[in-house]
Chain A
Amino acid sequence: MSETIDADLVRHIGKLARIELSEQQVEMFGRQMSDILVYFHKLRELETEDIEPMAHAVQSSNVFAADCPQPSLGPDQALANAPQRDGNFFKVPKVIGDS
């Protein structure tokens, strides 16, 4: 398993996380993330084979809401923070190529 995060891995993570990185950031994050990862490796000292993972502190089973209509945001409220709006739609740049 990789012990350090090299430049290619930083670029790959940036792509997965949808964050554009400058070359200077690739270098910096690579160094800092490697340090932090070494820190995380401390957990390897612990034997956890038979331990049940704990995702939540207070156990609750499925919570169901009554299946009945509730008032919701109207189009103007829902679109009030839209960076770009076109009528009752969120507008985004063209995402499908011409070919």
Chain B
Amino acid sequence: MPQIPTLTAVQLAEAIASGQTSALEATQAYLAAIEKLEPQIAAFNQVLADRAVQHAKNIDAKRQSHQHLPPLAGVPVAIKDNMCTSYGHTTCSSKMLANFRSPYTTTAVAKLEAAGAVVLGKTNLDEFAMGSSTENSAFAATHNPWDTDRVPGGSSGGSAAAVAARECAAALGSDTGGSIRQPAAMCGVVGLKPTYGRVSRYGLVAYGSSLDQIGPLARDVPDAALLTQVIAGHDARDSTSVPRPVPDYTAQLDEPIEGLRIGLPKEFYSEALDEQIDDAIHKAADAYKSAGAQIVEVTLPHSRIDTDEAGQLSSYAVACYYIVAMAEAASNLARYDGVHFGHRTDEPVGDIIELYSKTRSEGFGEEIKRRIMLGTFTLSSGYYDAYYNKALKVRRLIANDFTEAFKTCDVLLCPVAPTTAFKLGEKTDDPLTMYLADIYTISVNLAGVPSLSLPAALSKDNLPIGMQIVGPLFSESTLFRAGRMYEKVSNVARLTPALAAC
């Protein structure tokens, strides 16, 4: 039998179910990988080794007594540390929640555990999921397993790095403006941002409530499909989760889609895009064409990327997204007041306002303050119509573009990030430059549609290049099948960073 960390989640679940290995062996193999690699990667905020071992033993006991095993029985997974768990800490990589212990567990995490997955620990993120590099954590920066001088992307950088480094079989992340797909692309793994409402947000610490979705980060498309299968579905505790049956994502996965029409949005293939990425995605389009797909040019006018004389990029979608997300953040993060939970200032205070202001000033990092303040401003009297309401109108235009595009194609093939993984510290001085790392991913969240990010190729300097396949609302089945078509003809899905090789 091959070494455990080389197996996909699907393969590992089969190996455990058939008795080739045990849940305990699998958990111990991953705990050993974590111990070996964490000094270089720093993907985890907390490793829950004792609990994981206990869970694994329970699963093995079930198997020995011939009880029915659920689909992920014994598969070790990692959870982004902005999902509440009634065990361990839930920190959001913020000083504000450094000692917070949730009284309840996120629905998506509970579903994973009910399906037999073993939670190894909680992974690092940009504080409160605000960022694109996982450098903006109050605790540590996570490093990219392909080149430890580079960022893993963000904000789900801990989960993406852990999957790429083979420190877990699969992981959960959350995506508000690209936070699953962009780190997946930069770490060479598969990530899905499901349709808004497909997965319950109950227990996910809220950032931009109309944009946030939980989704999987995985080694390949079948793993991502299986995890989505497990976590999707209506939840009475999230009134925005959609009461719609979950199709069997794994059933027709290996059947190519006949006559697939793939749209290339012309706005995305401009000078703003790194040449190697442009090239890799066009080669992927050629591979699809060889497999019988039809390639059509489509247009997403309100997601256009402009470059001014100084080389500065701008886009309606980026402006729209940051206004909406910051306004929602300002509202959601009002709850951190030092009264009921989280950090409270030790300074003497004269009144309750001072208690709030000092607590928030000490507990939040700089980027959080910047976003709360901008959100507060755009929602404030006299500015609401000019900024927030204007952005909601532009959001409609952006969403309408997708509806139009899907009249002439089944899916869109797009870049994920404008560049491959950048160096640590390269963009931390200028918030606007960092915001532009999301330039290809944010329209999808504004429109609510699903998108699958998967490896397209490796760059000349051996860094992963991602691409995303975007579909209409609730088209996850199509995305998985389309992604699987490429995965089968390319060899990139199974490439592994040298550091993770067993």
Contact = CB atoms under 8 A, between A and B. Distances in A.
Interface in B386-425: 386-387, 389-397, 399
Given A21-B361, A48-B397, A33 B239 contact: no
Given A17-B330, A46-B394, A57-B448, 20 more contacts: A10-B373, A18-B357, A19-B361, A20-B360, A29-B369, A29-B370, A32-B370, A32-B431, A40-B378, A40-B391, A55-B210, A58-B195, A58-B196, A58-B197, A60-B197, A81-B101, A83-B339, A83-B343, A83-B344, A84-B344
B139 interface: no
B334 to A, nearest CB: 8
Contact of B396 (A13, A21, A51, A95): A51
B355 interface: yes
B373 A42 contact: no
A72 B19 CA distance: 41
A99 interface: no
B59 to A, nearest CB: 28
Contacts of B391: 40, 43
Interface string A2-13: 000100011001
Nearest to B444: A57
B351 A95 contact: yes
A92 to B, nearest CB: 6
A52 B394 CA distance: 9
Interface stretch (B61-69, B108-116, B319-327): B319-327
A68 interface: no
11 contacts: A14-B373, A20-B354, A33-B370, A42-B315, A46-B302, A57-B211, A60-B240, A73-B103, A81-B103, A82-B341, A92-B352
A36 B321 CA distance: 12
Nearest to A74: B103
Interface string B313-340: 0111011101100000010001001111
Contacts of B197: 57-58, 60
Of B239, B344, B373, B378, most buried by chain A (CB within 10 Å of CB) is: B373
B370 A16 contact: no
A27 B432 CA distance: 17
B342 interface: yes
Contacts of A56: 196, 210, 240, 448
Nearest to A50: B393
A17 B373 contact: yes
Main secondary structure of the interface of A (DSSP, over half): loop
A17 B236 CA distance: 32
A77 B323 contact: no
A57 B210 contact: yes
Contact of A40 (B104, B319, B342): B319
Contacts of B100: 81
Interface string A38-69: 01111111101001111111101001010000
Contacts of B28: none
A25 to B, nearest CB: 8
Given A20-B358, A83-B339, A93-B349, A40 B373 contact: no
A19 to B, nearest CB: 5
Contacts of B339: 83, 90, 92
Interface of A: 1, 5, 9-10, 13-21, 25, 29, 32-33, 35-37, 39-46, 48, 51-58, 60, 63, 65, 73, 77-78, 80-84, 90, 92-93, 95, 97
Given A13-B377, A57-B399, A48 B386 contact: no
B493 interface: no
For the complex of A and B, the 9 pairs showing the least CB-CB separation, nearest first, are: A57-B448, A53-B392, A81-B341, A83-B344, A48-B393, A20-B361, A54-B396, A63-B239, A20-B357
Contacts of B227: none
Nearest to B341: A81
B486 interface: no
B103 A80 contact: yes
A80 B394 contact: no
B447 A33 contact: no
Contacts of B260: none
A44 B364 CA distance: 32
A35 B448 contact: no
Nearest to B376: A17
Contacts of B211: 57
B106 to A, nearest CB: 16
A54 B399 contact: yes
B340 A82 contact: yes
Interface string B425-456: 00000011001000000000111110000000
Contact of A19 (B99, B373, B432): B373
A58 B349 contact: no
Nearest to A52: B396
Nearest to B369: A19
Of A18, A44, A80, most buried by chain B (CB within 10 Å of CB) is: A18
A25 B367 CA distance: 12
Contacts of B291: none
B373 A65 contact: no
Interface string B193-237: 001110000000000001100000000000000000000000010
